[in-house]
Chains A and B, each alone.
Chain A
């Protein structure tokens, strides 16, 4: 679970002798940190696998279970302005009203009809990487059932949650009026995502943009998920490469038995608790050369677009799914 939120690249804290910026404003600091991030290698050559994050300690298992087995579309999000955890109830009410108003726009019927939905904001305790990370929160849209006798809890129409996991590098430049929850995950109809996103943008002056996962990060995910110990494998490890050619692009799917993949990874992987860039590269190279031996196709010349393992799957267009609890 905790492995897919690949921590944002944390630039090594090398301090350069710089006497130009002494008492800089947050804006300046932000620019400074961008300069650092740009001038250093964008991704650290090695990443630590967090052994025990906050997650295990005080998490509500019911809620986490609710987040699993769903496909999430990822968005990146700028800090929320004047967001307050104490106002969640109020936000529910306002968002509810907003959705109703939006849905009725341009509709022919349902004049004056009550829209049978319910919006719930709630915090996701423990969904964070470090103590400093702000609390994650969940937004759900439920349909209220028509008949009062039935279960009041209706069907979940849409779910989205906001979180920040290992956001140290971002947090240091965010001032107190802002809440930094840079990752937003949505599940449900895109039209709902759009309405809710618009409301957040208007209310907290933030900006959503679709988050894509590039091939480089996908291969990291492949390696790290392969490494996960699973009691019983439910699915094969599968990779999907795309060959851009006209008129139709060609997809190459490559499935291996998860135990084989694990065996390969174990033979490569050295230090427990840490994964290096070389290991990931080697892992992928092995797969490539194996494929080349059989089909005479250089996969390295194509683009990796999807990775799915028994643990989770991720697509380059920013969709991920967890398969294991």
Chain B
């Protein structure tokens, strides 16, 4: 195969795998994505283009293809100056489309005619023939028409050879073969041609039926054999004849000799695989996990089938094996078992769930959403173990950094990981094999290879004791985290957020299910909460250090606050007795940030913390009894402390008294005279743009901008309006903080904070009072 072709093959493959590459993590998005692509398949070209779910750029390619086909149909324009250029362009178009998506049967019909009619030169004919790759099928009529061109002898010998090779290679994709079989005599006559003989033999071998074996043909074949010697292709055909009509052939043929035809398909090997995959077509399953069974494997893998993931087969063997020992009653029971191959829909699964035959290789469930449902609800230990063993070993063997610098292989591994992650998302549950794989591979990971997949695997680590997993995973992750770019840091934080969410979901389910199932981990609730809080502290530690390393990057801070948005709502959203506050490094960075949206996010988080803490306090008061999970007064104190500094900064203009304490001398040294005001709602650096635009709106003719002249009430109202206008799509929760301010009655500012805030326990209630009085 020429290197040029090879490149194209790769392209074709990439193209194929694309569909499975781009998926969303959420289940709903995933469902949605499946929908339109299927419907499009049906609408477009009828049957001919089931791979239609690629980008719309294909439409353009199709137009170009149409033009190219028309060009070839018209034949070469003799006078044209840049004839060669145009020809080349159109050829390229055809080739590209053919290797990418295959050609529709009508296009093949036209182009095949052109190639064999000899309108163009030999080289062009060859190139056209080489790219006659069907999208799905080739119509029988095209082949018959093409063969008729062979009779008029317009094309060269080499083109004929190539045509026969093509015919053999594509034989399985021809929709019907009756008429082609009628041409048997013609093909047989072509055996005379020495150059064609091997390929014609192969074609006849594929085509021969019992009724084609006639004495005169046998004689002819034997003559040929006498003339040309023991040719493997002739022997093959003869032995087939002998098989159909043993009486006609008396010569002995070597029995044990292996005879292969020369590989006519070689030219199209990759394309054939692609067509096969396309022909598998969309299956009637409601949710199909792509990466179909015909996923292309490199040839070196001689062992297993094409895909890493085994093909679904019900375990017919065990049935056979046990047949002997089975009693009658067993037999009767067994007759009720439901073969997997017939399982097509969810209702079927429900009806037969008690008598489903399990696949012979458990790994095959990865590709089948129905069976994923099944293994999700049977808690059968051997089933899970079989899956576990298979997945662990496969992951380890396929992992690319054991086999360096193999791009194709790397791509395949990525796809495999994607499939696993999709299955995990689908089940909303992590696999233990993946966790074990991470133990081994994370310490060796460079942080680049399959990054998004690896981080997603991290986010699906099943819930377990954090302190136990930390030395195996999170310590290694921290090393990578600190030494990598800010984008890596952000993606790690993102996946840790997802991990937290998965753990919380799992735990909140588990608490309610506890009486029914014995949970996989026999943990006490206290132990679980401890583990979660350790995870949160770990992320807090990562974030604080990262803020320092990245010099308080706003971008990073967004991701950190995203994480704390999950954290602050644990008590209410997940009904779990846990409130962990953020570390001061994060709080103050956010408070003094130059970005309004950060400050806004912070306010939201503080607001949610308050809701959670008040809810917790309420429950405590209601229950009266001291439960194990009363929060310590420290949490409340800490929260109040944060809130005090926040209010001090933004509202009461007493920024450095409580909360952030800075020695007045140092403040004097800075030379800022009005430091007390400089962080309040009007002067806060992140609000500066709002303040200025407010002033310009109020008094457009004013030359000098004096921010201090702004009245707080009106300003907050306008600012709120602008802010919401600017941000309402991005952040719906822009509301709480600004709402409180804007609805403030005039003159109330001082009244409200006339309350002294004590650092006692009950402060949450007090603050609730303050805030509710604001509203």
Contacts and interface: CB of A to CB of B under 8 A. Distances in A.
Interface of A: 18-28, 30-31, 34-35, 38-39, 76, 78-79, 81-82, 87, 90, 94, 106-113, 116, 175, 177-178, 190-191, 194, 197-198, 201-203, 205-210
Interface in B490-541: 518, 520-523, 527, 531
Contacts of B260: 106-108
B205 interface: yes
A209 B385 contact: no
A187 B396 CA distance: 24
Contact of B240 (A34, A35, A111, A177): A111
A26 B390 CA distance: 15
Contacts of A175: 381-382, 385
Contacts of A24: 520-522
Given A82-B318, A197-B303, A203-B360, A27 B390 contact: no
Contacts of A198: 303-304
A7 B533 CA distance: 41
Interface stretch (B132-140, B405-413, B433-441, B704-712): B433-441
A5 B253 CA distance: 48
Interface in B371-428: 381-382, 384-386, 388-390, 392-394, 396-397
B480 interface: no
Given A34-B439, A112-B243, 12 more contacts: A20-B464, A25-B381, A28-B432, A31-B435, A78-B389, A82-B318, A108-B236, A111-B239, A116-B256, A178-B382, A201-B310, A202-B310
Nearest to B316: A202
A234 B363 CA distance: 47
A18 B235 contact: no
B701 interface: no
A202 B361 contact: yes
Nearest to A197: B303
18 contacts: A20-B522, A21-B521, A21-B522, A28-B520, A31-B435, A39-B472, A78-B390, A79-B385, A94-B317, A108-B239, A109-B235, A109-B258, A116-B256, A202-B313, A205-B362, A205-B389, A207-B363, A207-B393
Nearest to B528: A20
Nearest to B466: A20
Contacts of A27: 381, 384-385, 388, 432, 520
B363 to A, nearest CB: 8
Nearest to B318: A82
Nearest to A38: B439
B85 interface: no
B617 to A, nearest CB: 30
User: Which of A30, A39, A94, A116 counts the most chain B CB atoms within 10 A?
Assistant: A30
Contact of A201 (B236, B304, B471): B304
Contacts, number: 139
Nearest to A203: B317
A209 B397 contact: yes
B465 A194 contact: no
A94 B471 contact: no
B356 to A, nearest CB: 16
B239 A177 contact: no
Nearest to B469: A35
Contact of B361 (A30, A31, A194, A201): A201
Nearest to A87: B321
B382 A194 contact: no
Given A20-B523, A203-B317, A209-B397, A35 B472 contact: yes
Nearest to A209: B397
Contact of A202 (B317, B386, B523): B317
Contact of B259 (A20, A35, A109, A178): A109
Q: Give the size range of B's interface with the partner.
A: 35 or more
Contacts of B239: 108-111
A33 B302 CA distance: 33
B468 interface: yes
The 6 A-B residue pairs with the shortest CB-CB distance, nearest first, are A108-B236, A78-B389, A22-B522, A209-B397, A20-B465, A109-B239
Interface of B: 205, 232, 235-236, 239-240, 243, 253, 255-261, 302-304, 310, 313, 317-318, 320-321, 324, 360-363, 381-382, 384-386, 388-390, 392-394, 396-397, 432, 435-436, 439-440, 464-465, 468-469, 471-472, 518, 520-523, 527, 531
B259 A108 contact: yes
A108 B381 contact: no
Contacts of A194: 302-303
A39 B473 CA distance: 10
Most buried by A among B259, B260, B436, B527: B436
Contact of A209 (B255, B320, B381, B396): B396
Contacts of A82: 318
A26 to B, nearest CB: 6
Contact of B432 (A31, A94, A206): A31
B522 A23 contact: yes
Contact of A208 (B255, B303, B360, B361): B303
Given A18-B465, A38-B472, A208-B303, A107 B259 contact: yes
B205 to A, nearest CB: 7
A78 B521 contact: no
Q: Which of A22, A87, A116, A202 has the most CB of B within 10 A?
A: A202
Contacts of A201: 304, 310, 361
Contacts of A108: 205, 232, 236, 239-240, 259-261
Contacts of A209: 393, 396-397
Nearest to A103: B258
B522 A177 contact: no
Contacts of A21: 465, 521-522
A209 B393 CA distance: 8
B538 to A, nearest CB: 17
A20 B303 contact: no
Nearest to A115: B256
A35 B388 contact: no
A251 to B, nearest CB: 20
A191 B734 CA distance: 66
B569 to A, nearest CB: 26
A89 to B, nearest CB: 11
A139 B304 CA distance: 20
B514 to A, nearest CB: 14
A155 B523 CA distance: 60
Given A39-B472, A108-B259, A109-B236, A31 B436 contact: yes
A109 B257 contact: yes
> Which of A19, A35, A206 is most buried by chain B, counting CB atoms within 10 A of its CB?
A35
Contacts of A25: 381, 520
A39 B471 contact: yes
Contacts of B397: 207, 209-210
B474 to A, nearest CB: 13
A26 B471 CA distance: 23
A190 B385 contact: no
Nearest to A23: B522
Nearest to A32: B468
A113 B255 contact: yes
A35 B468 contact: yes
A81 B303 contact: no
A191 B390 CA distance: 22
A20 B310 CA distance: 35
Nearest to B443: A38
Contact of A26 (B381, B396, B468): B381
A107 B239 CA distance: 12
B440 A38 contact: yes
Nearest to B437: A34
Nearest to B361: A205
A202 B520 CA distance: 29
Contacts of B396: 209
Given A177-B382, A207-B394, A79 B302 contact: no
A191 B302 CA distance: 8
Contact of B360 (A22, A76, A116, A202): A202
Nearest to A22: B522
A110 B257 CA distance: 8
A208 B393 CA distance: 8
